Amino acid sequence: MVKTNLTVISNFIFLGFTHYPKVEITIIVLCSLMYLVTLLGNIVLISVTILDSHLHTPMYFFLSNLSFLDIWYTSSALAPMLANFVSGKNTISFSGCATQMYVSLAMGSTECVLLSMMAYDRYVAICNPLRYPIVMNKRVCVQIAAGSWVAGCLTSLVETVSVLHQSLCGKNIIDHFTCEILAVLKLVCVDTSTVQLIMLVISVLLLPVPMLLICISYAFILSNILRITSVDGRSKAFSTCAAHLTVVVLFYGTALSMYLKPSAIDSQELDKFMALVYAGLTPMLNPIIYSLRNKEVKAAVRKLLIRDSLCALLIHSNK
């Protein structure tokens, strides 16, 4: 058996969804729509948060961070796939694959940590409103956001380097639509127990632990909501929490089923569709669920649109 160091491989070939020729076009169209909606929704949210001073709060600070990383996250996974489909070339260079793997892992890992911190922010705001300005001051918010980014980038660097130092058996065909770390790891022909152990430890720290913190935070939030006397207020609060938890379950659930499943289970085809959920669907839903349903954001968008319309009218009248 011929063993080839991974760095010798000059390019990789994606199989993508070629096993499903009848639905491949449908998948590409849906991915294109998801990508466009993700870009539009997250760019609007970031712009509104920056331009409207009323949204300069910890919650929208974290949401802006989430939107920024979601743009990079979905762009690292979906944009190259769509570009390859249009060009008809399902290939990627070694350096491109390494970059794609690192960016995807970094953004996904950062989101895992950030979502748990956002849940804690909501817990403090709802359960301890009087202490909220003190606990979640500007310095603390910056530290939390920076810590999330550092944790995500460092863990992804460890995982990427650990895989890229392995050896291949002369194979360069990736059975995926992106340089997903598990798909690349299947090309390795040497013992991967050390790499799998590293990935297991990191996956446990980034998936079930943050999800447990989110569940605990929302348990306290829901118990506090039950004390609301207004039926309308209680139903709105429950609706908001349910929407948030739905996105959390989609994101963490699909990631957990991929990265913490028994090694004996081989479900590569299913993994591709799960990757579309946490790399495409959840980044699209995040700005809709967390922000664009919010009255404050809607009011800010309307105000900015009116202001832009008035500016355009003034410019036109001066001409």
What's the mean pLDDT in 261-266? 68
Query: What's the domain count of the chain?
Result: 1
254 domain residue, yes or no:
yes
172 domain residue, yes or no:
yes
Please give the distance of CA 259 from its chain centroid, rounded to a whole number: 15
- Tell me what pLDDT residue 85 has: 84
| Residues 116-149 pLDDT 10s | 999 999 899 888 888 999 999 999 999 999 999 9
Higher pLDDT among residues 8 and 140, named by residue: 140
45 domain residue, yes or no:
yes
Binned at pLDDT 50, 70 and 90, residue 54 comes out as: confident
Residue 164 belongs to domain spanning: 11-260+267-313
Helix (H) or strand (E) holding 203: helix 193-206
Using a 10 angstrom Cβ sphere, with 0-12 exposed, 13-18 middle and 19 or more buried, the burial of residue 13 is middle
207 domain residue, yes or no:
yes
Residue with tokens 């922000």: 291
248 domain residue, yes or no:
yes
Q: What CATH code is carried by the domain that includes residue 145?
A: 1.20.1070.10
Highest mean pLDDT among 88-97, 202-211, 228-237: 202-211
318 domain residue, yes or no:
no
4 domain residue, yes or no:
no
319 domain residue, yes or no:
no
Beta strand 173-174 pairing with 11-14: parallel
Residue 152 has pLDDT above 90, yes or no: yes
| Residues 165-193 pLDDT 10s | 887 776 788 888 889 998 898 888 888 88
